[in-house]
Structure 1
Amino acid sequence: MNRTVFALPARSDYATRAGLAITRVAEQFTGGANRLDDLINLLDRRRGVVLSSGTTVPGRYESFDLGFSDPPLKLETSGVNFKLEALNARGQVLIAFLGDVLREPCVVFSEKTATRLAGHIIRGDAPVEEDQRTRRASVMSLVRDIIAAFSANDDGLLGLFGAFAYDLVFQIEDLVQKRARESDQRDIVLYVPDRLLAYDRATGRGVVLSYDFAWKGKSTEGLPRETAESPYLKTPRQGFADHAPGEYQATVETARAAFARGDLFEAVPGQLFAEPCDRSPAEVFQRLCVINPSPYGALMNLGEGEFLVSASPEMFVRSDGRRVETCPISGTIARGTDAIGDAEQIRQLLNSEKDEFELNMCTDVDRNDKARVCVPGTIKVLARRQIETYSKLFHTVDHVEGMLRPGFDALDAFLTHAWAVTVTGAPKLWAMQFVEDHERSPRRWYAGAIGAVNFDGSINTGLTIRTIRMKDGLAEVRVGATCLFDSDPAAEDRECQVKAAALFQALRGDPPKPLSTFAPDATGSGKRVLLIDHDDSFVHMLADYFRQVGADVTVVRHVHALDMLKRKTWDLLVLSPGPGRPEDFGIKKTIDAALEQKLPVFGVCLGVQAIGEYFGGELGQLTHPAHGRPSRVQVRGGRLMRNLPNEIVIGRYHSLFVERDSMPEVLSVTASTEDGVAMALEHKTLPVAGVQFHPESLMSLSNEVGLRIVENAFRLDAGAN
């Protein structure tokens, strides 16, 4: 959203290219969240649109909300048939205007009344020159004619708002429809509003733009803005899926055979899930904005009881009339259970050749789409395989731009990409026919576009994915997966389930799951812990872990260790990490004093080295120091490693270690690295144990390894003789 909207004059008068007089009144306000909520709730029963960007990506997305209710004019198409309808008396002024000025040769009117213009499009043959395919006669020719009639450079917000369905591509390309379409299917629903609310979440600033129109002595001034109710009907319905178990995987196998023959490079078959939903569209939208904010969120009351609720992560086409941008998304992985799990998932996604190949093909096809209408040499990849983060998923995204050639406009940019390779496949024509041949039901709005085509020649649309279609008490969610020859059919099926999860969560009202569900036991409750600091930089985080399990922790520098052991009664002695060697801190005397008191001892890093030496072991030095290095460790049992997986990931900060060849008979190695370095030791008869790694490190956060080990430190005397 162009923030110059907040600097508009209080009143402006201007005329469109075709002579429609427009008066715009701007009412600035602050703290408009309540106004926005009221508008969203109103769309449960009134036609209108709210577009909401809940993410900020520098150079790509910024947070904003833009919406309206009670539009005076609606354009609706189905196949080649169209109707322009006045939704109130104000709309009749616009009907009169358009009835006089629309001149597109392929548009044939069968009805012209004060409230309605209806007719059909005469489709021509496909152009011989591919550069002109975006100008092929279609219902989009009517859209272009309407934009030309309203064209004005005085306003960057007013335009046509709504949705474009997938089936529009059948008017641009000569594809064969294999499945019957329902009688209620519409291909375009676009509104012309006469009042817009724009809101900047970052600053709390907002503006309401109110428009009046005048044409040949007719004016909207003073006429009521309200339109007829068009509510969501909560009719009891049964849920369904359009694929039986195993059918989607069979489709993927069919696609793999096509890849092997060279018929396709990739394909994106989809599947549909539907559930009964008694929640209102506004409620679902507001919830979705919280649990899954996205750059192309939308709530649309399309009339006839049909609603779209979207949390689309993907830009379809954005253009200012000269520059055209797209952001192909391909490559998906589920979020981890915590930040460390997230990092591992991101690493896995970026290292995945399959996901890289997917995005390679998507962006190459996207660049080809632009080359049809862009100036040679201007198509650039601005960002490559960047990570975008959503509530349940990570995606890899490219950002591509081009400059339109003279004679082409934003609608050409829109149509040349119909539809995005990320929801069809490649080669695109054969992939779209594959989708039509093998999907179990028509796509309707899915894989089309939502957003705005502005009268200043700009366009901003999102791809219609992660979108719920709500009608008559039923909520439909369609999802797809990008399939290659290397695809695992079961994995692609699972990906569809993951993509749908956030939408179903909003539908059902399930509470968002926390990133981590682990809650440490209070094993340290009532226990007094003395933690000896050997000039360490991690000791306070280590103390924090012991406090998390309920312990009363006292941290002292090593010079006070013996005195503190004598002055108070303790339940556990913790020997911290630190630089140097154990003898630099006199740790042998500290262990002597603890064992005289029969006090359990837990050592970390330097502390476990001291334990190894105390009982007769020798220290070795790593060839390459392990400083800030995560490692995979095999767990072999023991009290300290109780209830841990067989393999864990931990964080290391050490150069020295207890040599396996010198390991005392009284000590057991209960965990080690793949190359055999001891990572955990336990005394066989005494409550003494330690770990060479750092349980408090962020590298040890996965599966809450560190906290679990700290819990187990209070159980060292269990099983010790």
Structure 2
Amino acid sequence: MAMPDRETFRGLTRQGNVIPVWIDLPAHGESPVSLFQRLDAGDTVFLLESAEGDGEWAAHSFIGVNPWLVLSARGGLVTITDAEGTRAVQANSLDSLHEILRAYVPIHFDGLPRFAGGAVGYFSYDTARLLEHLPEIAADEDAIPDALWMLPGEMVIFDNRAQRVMLMHLARVAVGDDPDTVYALAEDRLGKLHALITSPVSPKNSVGAPGAATLDFRANFTRADFELAVESVQEHIRAGDIFQMVLSQRFTVETDAEPFDVYQALRAINPSPYLYYLRFPEITIIGSSPELLLRLEGRRLTVRPIAGTRPRGATATEDRALEASLRADPKEIAEHVMLIDLGRNDVGRVAEIGSVRLEDRMVVERYSHVMHLVSSVTGTLAMGLDAIDAFRATFPAGTLTGAPKIRAMELIERFEPVRRGLYGGSVGYFSFNGDADLAIAIRSLSVRNGTVTFQAGAGIVYDSIPLREYEETLHKASALRRAIEVAHSGTVA
């Protein structure tokens, strides 16, 4: 039976205009991936997953289908597609998404997962141009949308621990709507979802034949040019212009591999706290980011800068030695301290006075292939502000720009040959209830018309060794490259 029942639903329509209606089922051996493959309908869908530091899956995975609204932005043009059609206006994408979210008054139910409806999508790094006046030097080569967001009409929420599945319809109630009619539609949509996930037909296997050609990965820097760029950045550091800057390079490759195969390979190779597969008509976004941009739960705002990396050791003894090396590395420590200060400044812009705290300082977090130095900065969001305001204050992350942030961004425009696009942007959700959870778009790629694009960077400081910084970008890009190779070969498990 659907929850809430029809009579309760009628009463709730007087309190809000978006009401989750759901049924709860046993998983019967399904996984988030197999459910996604069963429900793989339409060109605008998403899958959000999370692997915790110990390799275990986080509590819930989220699948979204049948969006009732999609927002796309490019430059100053925002396009909205919904039941009324498609319309384009000259607008700021942040303002437009803000306005859309504020139109909904959700009904809250105790016991539901932390995300139960809202907007899922991404902002590109170049959204920063809405927040700061930046020079226009780098080529706009990729030309992907600056923002793409969907509001799903239905979600499938997989409880990884209880092995249960929640099918959810987001019922919208407009003025004058008959509650019984709206509820009947919810029951109908849930029934169709239920039929799809319980069908005896095996889920579609997207893995195709091996790719016809050898992959040709291309970078937009040669090693020599990257090292020269590092040295040029260091001249600005020595002159006192900046303290640190993240310099990145872009990789592209053509493949006929299915994008979802790339996602499956990536989640196996590089499980991370933020795993995402977002398919839009224009582009598919795939990622396994380890790093939070911001999380807002109630009024509690959190940012978690990551700076400092070592590979995992082959043995426990080697692992401990690598941790000790990381903790004792003056370059890594100095870079991390600068980014803690940036995080404090960003949170302080929107937090209540006196509420900003450093809760964790340079904790070593271990993942499947690497360990990182991580700190947590928290604050209480000031009254009158919301998640979009918090985003404006913290975006882009200092860990992807450098310090001071604005001057570093100006120099990025000068030293990187093309605009960043997805890299250094943000992927995640803004919930109808006001919460938000957004990852930094690193270890991420975009797929469009068979071309895969991804990027990786290194933090340049006073005593950086140019060759090592170049090699760091290759190391950070290696999991993405391997995932593409596996998918292209047709060997996804």
Q: 1:182 to 1:503 in 2, by over 3 A?
A: closer
CA spacing shift, 1:194–1:244, aligned 2, 3 Å:
same
Partner SS, residue 34 of structure 1: coil
| Alignment of 1:144 onto 2:98 | yes
1:497 corresponding residue in structure 2: 474
Q: 1: distance between equivalents of 2:34 and 2:244?
A: 44
The alignment partner of 1:55 has SS state of coil
Task: Answer yes or no: is 1:55 the counterpart of 2:55.
Answer: no
**Would you say 1:373 and 2:370 are equivalent positions?**
no
| SS of match in other structure, 2:72 | strand
Aligned to 1:353: 330
Unaligned runs of 5+ in 2: 110-114, 193-205, 489-493
Matched residue, 1:571: none
In the TM superposition, what whole-angstrom CA distance separates every residue of 1:394-422 from its partner, at most 9, and x where no partner exists? 21110110011112112111110111000
1:307 to 1:212, Cα distance in 2 relative to 1, 3 A: same
Q: 1:270 corresponds to which residue? A: 248
In 2, Cα distance between equivalents of 1:172 and 1:263: 21
Structure 1 letter corresponding to 2:123: F
Q: Distance in 1 between matches of 2:371 and 2:28?
A: 32
Q: 1:646-682: per-residue Cα shift (whole Å, max 9, x none)?
A: xxxxxxxxxxxxxxxxxxxxxxxxxxxxxxxxxxxxx
CA distance in 2, matches of 1:73, 1:411: 18
Structure 1 residues 16 and 488, CA gap change in structure 2 (3 angstroms): farther
Larger radius of gyration: 1
Corresponding residue for residue 409 of structure 1 = 386
Partner of 1:198: 157
3-state SS of paired residue (1:408): coil
Query: Using the alignment, how far apart are the partners of 1:347 and 1:504 within structure 2?
Result: 29
Look up the match of 2:275.
297
How far apart are residue 345 of structure 1 and its match?
1.4
Out of 293, 301, 304, the position equivalent to 1:327 is 304
* Cα displacement (A) at 1:449: 0.7
Q: CA deviation at 1:251?
A: 1.2
Q: Distance in 2 between matches of 1:428 and 1:18?
A: 46
**Structure-2 change in CA distance of 1:421 and 1:183 (3 Å):** closer
**Structure 1: 5+ residue runs without aligned partners?**
1-6, 87-91, 93-113, 122-137, 512-721
| Residue in 2 that maps onto 1:250 | 228
The one-character-per-residue Cα deviations of 1:587-630 (angstroms, maximum 9, x if unpaired) are xxxxxxxxxxxxxxxxxxxxxxxxxxxxxxxxxxxxxxxxxxxx
In structure 1, how many angstroms separate the alpha carbons of the residues matched to 2:487 and 2:20?
43
Contact 1:358-1:484 within 8 A present in 2 as well = yes
Residue identity matched to 1:466: R
- The Cα of 1:333 is off from its aligned counterpart by 1.8
Asked whether 1:170 is paired with 2:124, we answer no
Counterparts of 2:370 and 2:467 in 1: how far apart (Å)? 18
Q: Deviations over 1:191-250 (max 9, x none)?
A: 011111111212212211113324355677649979xxxx99999895421112211111
Candidates 366, 388, 402, aligned match of 1:425: 402
- For 2:79 and 2:310, locate their aligned partners in 1 and report how far apart those are by CA, in whole Å: 43
**Partner in structure 1 of residue 69 of structure 2:** 73
Q: CA deviation at 1:35?
A: 5.7
Q: Would the alpha carbon gap of residues 211 and 37 (structure 1) be closer, same or farther in structure 2, given more than 3 Å must change? A: same
8 Å Cα contact 1:17-1:150 kept in structure 2:
no
- In 1, the alpha carbon distance for the partners of 2:466 and 2:89 equals 45
Aligned residue type for 1:314:
E
Give the aligned residue type for 1:455. F
Contact preservation (8 Å) 2:47, 2:277: yes
2:198 alignment partner in structure 1: none
Query: Matches of 1:387 and 1:416 in 2, distance apart?
Result: 26
Say whether residues 1:485 and 2:442 are aligned partners. Answer: no
Amino acid at match of 1:115: G
Aligned partners of 2:257 and 2:487 also within 8 Å: no
Question: Residues of 2 paired with 1:492 and 1:184: CA distance?
Answer: 27
Listed one character per residue, the Cα deviations across residues 473-524 of structure 1 (whole Å, up to 9, x for unaligned) are 222220011111011111111111111111111111199xxxxxxxxxxxxx
- Matched residues in 1 for 2:447 and 2:18: separation? 35
Q: Secondary structure at the match of 2:20?
A: strand
CA contact (8 A) 1:28 1:208 kept: yes
More displaced, 27-36 or 470-479?
Answer: 27-36
> Is the CA contact (8 Å cut-off) linking 2:275 and 2:288 kept in structure 1?
yes
* CA deviation map 1:677-696 (0-9, x unaligned): xxxxxxxxxxxxxxxxxxxx
Residues 502 and 377 of structure 1: is their aligned pair in 2 closer, same or farther, counting only changes over 3 Å? Answer: same
Give the letter for the 2:23 counterpart. Answer: E
Report the counterpart of residue 676 of structure 1 in structure 2: none
Mapped partners of 2:241, 2:59: distance in 1: 42
Q: CA RMSD in A?
A: 3.0
| 1:268 positional shift | 0.4
Give the match's secondary structure for 2:447: strand
Distance 1:152 1:40 in 2: 26
Kept after mapping to 2: 8 A contact 1:13/1:21: no
Instruction: Give 3-state SS (helix, strand or coil) of 2:319's partner.
Output: helix
Cα pair distance change 1:277/1:341, threshold 3 Å = farther
TM normalised by structure 1 equals 0.59
Q: Distance in 1 between matches of 2:303 and 2:486?
A: 33
What amino acid does structure 2 have at the position aligned with 1:73?
Answer: L
Q: 1:18 to 1:423 in 2, by over 3 A?
A: farther
State the match for 2:262 in structure 1. 284
Q: 1:379: Cα distance to partner?
A: 0.8
- CA offsets, 1:346-380, max 9 Å, x none? 11111101101111000101100111111122111
* CA distance in structure 1 between the aligned counterparts of 2:390 and 2:14, rounded to whole angstroms: 24
What whole-Å deviation, never above 9, does each CA across 1:536-584 have from its counterpart, x for those lacking one?
A: xxxxxxxxxxxxxxxxxxxxxxxxxxxxxxxxxxxxxxxxxxxxxxxxx
Aligned residue for 1:75, secondary structure, equals strand
Conserved in 1, the CA contact under 8 Å of 2:156 and 2:166? yes
C-alpha separation in 1, matches of 2:407 and 2:360: 28
Distance 1:14 1:316 in 2: 39
Does 1 or 2 have the higher relative contact order (CA < 8 Å, sep 6+)?
2
Find the aligned partners of 1:10 and 1:508 in 2 and give their Cα distance. Answer: 49
The question of 1:260 aligning with 2:238 is answered: yes
Per the TM alignment, residue 14 of structure 1 is displaced from its structure 2 partner at its CA by 7.5
- Number of equivalenced pairs: 456
| 1:689-713 CA-partner distances (Å, limit 9, x unpaired) | xxxxxxxxxxxxxxxxxxxxxxxxx
Q: Secondary structure at the match of 2:478?
A: helix
**Structure 1 residues 153 and 409: CA distance shift in structure 2, 3 A:** farther
Q: Which runs of 4+ in 1 moved over 6 A?
A: 14-20, 223-226, 231-237
| Cα deviation code 1:166-192 (max 9, x no counterpart) | 111101111112124258421111001
Matches within 5 A, 1:203-214: 203-214=162-173
C-alpha distance in structure 2 between counterparts of 1:201 and 1:69, whole Å: 20
Alpha-carbon distance in structure 1 between the residues aligned to 2:378 and 2:335: 19
* CA displacement at 1:17 relative to structure 2: 11
